[in-house]
Structure 1
Amino acid sequence: MTKVKLTDTEQVTAHIAQLPTDLQLAVMYLRNAILSVDQTIAEHIKWNSPAFYYSGEMRGFDPKEYKRDILVMNLRKDKIMCVLPTGAVIQHHTEILEGNYTDGRRMIYFKDLADIKEKELQLRKAIQEWLSLVEK
């Protein structure tokens, strides 16, 4: 029997469908908010979590630098932690970015759907700034 391989988007959808209902609603809203920022944002499962990356053309780089990665969700029962592997490049929209890691990561924490809606504009601006700094 041939096993059908799901597309990246189908894998993300299937992953979210396995979450508790309240978390599903929050993650779906957050997913849609991120994807709607720009057409060059794509999604897949990375580190067993929904992740978002720049899908456009870029100069060559060492894949261990994670320059293409925008955001990886870390889903927990009481919050959604979003890891921005290169979030330190974002300078102007840092109200929601937390942490000062030497590897350039920054975090955004969301408690629930209401918290996501409250921080959505700041999230969108931070992602737009990140996209403007991509090495094309």
Structure 2
Amino acid sequence: MAKNRKPGPEETVAGYFSQLSHPLKEVVEALRQTVLAADPEIGEQIKWNSPSFCYTGEMKAFDPKEYKRDIVVFNLHKNDFVLLVFPTGAVVDDKTGLLEGKYPDGRRMAKFSSLDEVKQRTKDLQGVIKAWLEKVEK
């Protein structure tokens, strides 16, 4: 990497994961791969000091404070579970029961405690992401 060049999203994310020290690091990595596999137009970055995933395709113009590109962000503050925060998750009609909470700002959450849980809920998580992508204003 050149001396004065700022690292790109891929380098920043790779660096984050190489230094991650979390008891559920395998769960985090499995969730990361599950989210990225849901659609080729999902990108990753470090946002809000955490790995996050966003829609990278074409969209209608919008106010950046509306977070319309942001799909899901990791919350790794607890050691016994990994929390996925969907900043605009309320737009998804989740019939799987994966998303929890009804916050005034439209956030919804999904909690994972083990690799088995990730494997059991992969289809549900990818379904929620695909439903979210269908709401994107292109």
TM-score scaled to structure 2, two decimals?
Answer: 0.90
Contact 1:16 1:27 survives alignment (8 Å): no
Contact 1:93 1:122 survives alignment (8 Å): no
CA displacement, residues 68-123 of structure 1 (integer Å, 9 cap, x when unaligned): 10000001211111110110011144411000011111001111222211211100
Equivalent residue, structure 1, for 2:80 = 78
Q: 1:23 to 1:5 in 2, by over 3 A?
A: farther
Q: Structure 2 CA distance, aligned partners of 1:40 and 1:93?
A: 24
Q: 1:98 to 1:37 in 2, by over 3 A?
A: same
5+ residue gaps in structure 1?
none
Task: State the SS of the aligned residue for 1:99.
Answer: coil
Q: 1:21 to 1:48 in 2, by over 3 A?
A: closer
Whether 1:109 aligns to 2:100 is: no
Q: 1:82 to 1:92 in 2, by over 3 A?
A: closer
Whether 1:18 aligns to 2:19 is: yes
Q: Structure 2 CA distance, aligned partners of 1:48 and 1:21?
A: 15
Q: How many positions carry a matched residue from both structures?
A: 136
Whether 1:135 aligns to 2:137 is: yes
Moved more, 71-80 or 13-22: 13-22
Q: Structure 1 CA distance, aligned partners of 2:79 and 2:23?
A: 10
Q: Structure 2 CA distance, aligned partners of 1:33 and 1:3?
A: 34
Q: Structure 1 CA distance, aligned partners of 2:116 and 2:4?
A: 39
Task: State the SS of the aligned residue for 1:10.
Answer: helix
Tell me how large the CA RMSD over aligned residues is: 1.7
Contact 1:74 1:82 survives alignment (8 Å): yes
Give the letter for the 1:88 counterpart: A
Equivalent residue, structure 1, for 2:60 = 59
Q: Structure 2 CA distance, aligned partners of 1:66 and 1:94?
A: 24
Q: 1:22 to 1:113 in 2, by over 3 A?
A: farther
Q: Structure 1 CA distance, aligned partners of 2:68 and 2:127?
A: 18
CA deviation after TM superposition for structure 1 residue 7, in Å: 2.2
Moved more, 99-108 or 85-94: 85-94
Q: Structure 2 CA distance, aligned partners of 1:17 and 1:126?
A: 28
Report runs of 4+ in structure 1 exceeding 2 Å deviation: 3-7, 19-24
5+ residue gaps in structure 2?
none
